[in-house]
Amino acid sequence: MRLSRFFVPILKENPKEAEIVSHRLMLRAGMIRQQSQGIYSWLPLGKKVLDKVNNIIREEQNRAGAIELLMPTLQSAELWQESGRYDAYGKEMLRIKDRQDRPMLYGPTNEEMITDIFRSSVKSYKDLPLNLYHIQLKFRDEVRPRFGTMRSREFLMKDAYSFDLTREGAEHSYNKMFTAYLRTFDRLGLRAIPMRADTGPIGGNLSHEFIILADTGESEVFCHRDFVNFDIPAGNTDFDSVDRLKSIFSKWTSLYAATSEMHDEAAFNAIPEGERLSARGIEVGHIFYFGTKYSEPMGAKVQGPDGKEHFVHMGSYGIGPTRLVPAIIEASHDENGIIWPESVAPFDVVVINMKAGDEACDGTCELIYAALTKAGKDVLYDDTDDRAGTKFATADLIGVPYQIIAGPRAVANGEVEVKNRKTGARETMTIEAAINRFVA
Ligand code: ATP
Ligand code: MG
Q: What is the pLDDT along the chain (440 residues), one digit of tens a residue?
A: 999 999 999 999 999 989 999 999 999 999 999 999 999 999 999 999 999 999 999 999 999 999 999 999 999 999 999 999 999 999 999 999 999 999 999 999 999 999 999 999 999 999 999 999 999 999 999 999 999 999 999 999 999 999 999 999 999 999 999 999 999 999 999 999 999 887 765 556 899 999 999 999 999 999 999 987 889 999 999 999 999 999 999 999 999 999 888 889 999 999 999 999 999 999 999 999 999 999 999 999 999 999 999 999 999 999 999 999 999 999 999 999 999 999 999 999 999 999 999 999 999 999 999 999 999 999 999 999 999 999 999 999 999 999 999 999 999 999 999 999 999 999 999 999 999 999 97
CA-to-CA distance for 314 and 130, rounded, in angstroms? 10
CA-to-CA distance for 88 and 90, rounded, in angstroms? 6
Cβ–ligand 1 contact at 184 (below 6 Å): no
CA-to-CA distance for 285 and 158, rounded, in angstroms? 9
Cβ–ligand 1 contact at 155 (below 6 Å): yes
Cβ–ligand 1 contact at 140 (below 6 Å): yes
Measured by CA distance, the residue closest to atom 24 of ligand 1 is 151
Contact 163, 157 (CB under 8 A): no
Ligand closest to CA 210: 1
Angle at which helices 21-28 and 321-331 cross, to 10°: 100
Please tell me the predicted confidence (pLDDT) of residue 240: 97
Give burial (CB, 10 Å; 0-12/13-18/19+) of 19.
exposed
Give burial (CB, 10 Å; 0-12/13-18/19+) of 319.
buried
Closest ligand 1 atom to residue 151 Cα is 28
Q: What's the gap in Å between 344 CA and the centre of ligand 1? A: 21
Q: What's the gap in Å between 320 CA and the centre of ligand 1? A: 6
Cβ–ligand 1 contact at 398 (below 6 Å): no
Contacts of 194 (CB under 8 A, 6+ apart): 178, 181, 182, 208, 209, 210, 252, 253, 257
Contact 310, 292 (CB under 8 A): no
Closest ligand 1 atom to residue 142 Cα is 27
Q: What's the gap in Å between 4 CA and the centre of ligand 2? A: 42
Cβ–ligand 1 contact at 320 (below 6 Å): yes
Measured by CA distance, the residue closest to atom 18 of ligand 1 is 285
Cβ–ligand 1 contact at 115 (below 6 Å): no
Domain 349-439 in CATH 3.40.50.800? The answer is: yes
- Segments making up each domain of the chain, as ranges: 3-338, 349-439
Give burial (CB, 10 Å; 0-12/13-18/19+) of 77.
middle
Cβ–ligand 1 contact at 148 (below 6 Å): no
Name the residue of 40, 50, 94, 155 to mutate for ligand 1: max ligand atoms within 8 A of Cβ. 155
Cβ–ligand 1 contact at 157 (below 6 Å): yes
Cα-based distances in Å from 213 to 207, 328, 330: 19, 11, 9
Measured by CA distance, the residue closest to atom 26 of ligand 1 is 151
Q: What's the gap in Å between 187 CA and the centre of ligand 2? A: 22
Superfamily covering domain 3-338: Bira Bifunctional Protein; Domain 2 (3.30.930.10)
Q: pTM of this prediction?
A: 0.97
Q: What's the gap in Å between 116 CA and the centre of ligand 1? A: 23
238 residue type, one letter? D
Please tell me the predicted confidence (pLDDT) of residue 440: 74
CA-to-CA distance for 198 and 388, rounded, in angstroms? 53
Ligand closest to CA 320: 1
Ligand closest to CA 284: 1
CA-to-CA distance for 174 and 401, rounded, in angstroms? 35
Closest ligand 1 atom to residue 159 Cα is 14
- β-strand partners of 283: 211
Q: What's the gap in Å between 286 CA and the centre of ligand 2? A: 5
Name the residue of 142, 221, 284, 286 to mutate for ligand 1: max ligand atoms within 8 A of Cβ. 286
